[in-house]
Amino acid sequence: GIVAVLDAASNKGCTDITVLGIDFYECEYLTVCSSTNTKEAPKRSGIDKAPHMKEFLTNQLKKLPDVKFKFYTYSTFNPELENVEIIN
């Protein structure tokens, strides 16, 4: 998802991008095991990479100040950039 967002901004020339559902594994619906109904993150979910993904995305968004981004997310992600709006 993050690569698609950056591709739209960098390679496709989009200047106004709305992103839905990149929640960085922070919402419970992403980590509740459907068979046991317990909060057990899947071993290969990438949940441990979420902080790195946020940092990477923030650094890339800084390089695109002329592109307006709007994120609808359950995540705590907020790069606090002028060109980024977060809607929780």
- CA–CA distance, 26 with 77 (Å, rounded to integer): 10
Q: What is the pTM of this model?
A: 0.77
Segment 65-72 shows an average pLDDT of: 97
- Better-scored residue on pLDDT, 23 or 33: 23
- DSSP-assigned beta bridge partners for residue 21: none
pLDDT of 34 reads 60
pLDDT of 41 reads 52
pLDDT, tens only, 4-22: 999 999 999 999 999 998 8
